Amino acid sequence: MKRLMAWSGLFFLVFVLFHAYGNLHYFEGEIAYDHYAYFLRELLVPIVPHGGVLWILRVLLLACLLAHAGSAFHLWARNRRARGTDKYAVKKAGAEYFASRYAMRTMRWGGVILLLFIVWHILQFTTLSLTPGGQYVHGRAYMNMYYGFQLWWVYLIYAVALAALCLHVWHGVWSALQTLGATRGGTVPLVRLVAFVVAFGLFAAFMVVPTAILFGLTDAPMDAAEYAMRAAEAGIGSSH
Ligand code: HEM
């Protein structure tokens, strides 16, 4: 169960690292960013149909989500059963006990916040069912994000979710590397450092784009006519 958690967690981590890096294309401008979103849908065409790789990724992510959350719940339930009614029978001493309980709580609540966030995120940017800040359009990822992050409360939702992600990754990377056997001998300080750098680097990489949008540091999206012309020049077709 712990290995399943570790592997599915690491798969998620690779996904969010690529996602954060991909979002940085925002600073290259509207056409470049939407071109990147379009490119993701064109991957391996015509070996697979338009959007095929994206669907494979969605299925893999969903499978990992079920494996990750399912094994977390199973381990929690088993732990609870094993403890029985005497909750404090195997209490660790002082600071160590506090630290591990604190980490467990953070992981549990962090996991719940992240699940809720993913639902919100898909409704906002994939299905466009919730469109705070303006009239979103399929394929115009730059514009949709620009509209969303004009609003402080949308920004806040992302900041809270990313803080949860950061804490989750911080503890998760450490825990996964331990489960997979990377913390034998003298590697402990290095593993702790890797977990810290990855987690906070991820937070910074994700938050830089919404922050720039909120503070008016990015260009406003083009009007429909200009966009249609420029998108056609760049060869971006209907991209959803
Ligand atoms: C500042 C933070 C983030 C921003 C601005 C952002 C933005 C976006 C945008 C614009 C899309 C749609 C891309 C397109 O239409 O091609 C997207 C897709 C997605 N994002 Fe994020 N994202 C952020 C953080 C996250 C995080 C932390 C996760 C996971 C924990 C995540 C998971 C996903 C997933 C799974 C999809 C694909 C949904 C699908 O098409 O089925 N995102 N994101």
**pLDDT, tens digit (0-9, with 9 covering 90-100), for 99-112:** 666 777 888 899 99
pLDDT above 90 coverage of the chain, percent: 71
Q: What percent of the chain has pLDDT over 70?
A: 91
Per-residue pLDDT at 185 exceeds 90:
no
Residue 148 C-alpha to ligand 1 middle, in angstroms?
Answer: 13
pLDDT of residue 89: 53
CA dihedral angle for residue 46, residue 47, residue 50, residue 56, rounded to 10 degrees? -170
Residue 143: which pLDDT band, with cuts at 50, 70 and 90?
A: very high
Ligand 1 centroid to Cα of residue 166, in Å, is: 16
Residues 22-57 pLDDT 10s: 999 999 999 999 999 999 999 999 999 999 999 999
Confidence of residue 152 (pLDDT cuts 50, 70, 90): very high
Whether this model's pTM surpasses 0.75: yes
Question: Are 44 and 52 a contacting pair, CB within 8 Å?
Answer: yes
Show the CA angle centred on residue 40, arms to residues 168 and 110, nearest 5°.
10
Lowest-confidence pick of 90-99, 125-134, 196-205: 90-99
- Which comes out higher in pLDDT, residue 1 or 155? 155
pLDDT bin (cut points 50, 70, 90) of residue 239 is: very low
Protein residue with its CA nearest to atom 1 in ligand 1? 206
The answer, yes or no, to whether residue 125 has pLDDT greater than 90, is yes
Who lines ligand 1 at CB under 6 A?
16, 19, 23, 37, 40, 58, 61, 114, 118, 121-122, 125-126, 141, 145, 158, 165, 206, 209-210
Looking at per-residue pLDDT, the higher value among 120 and 98 belongs to 120
Selecting from 3.40.50.1970, 1.10.240.10, 3.40.50.280, 1.20.1300.10, what CATH number does the domain 2-234 have? Answer: 1.20.1300.10
| Residue 57 alpha carbon to ligand 1 centre in Å | 13
Predicted pLDDT at 231: 95
Using the mean position of ligand 1's atoms as its centre, give its distance from the Cα of residue 16 in Å. Answer: 9
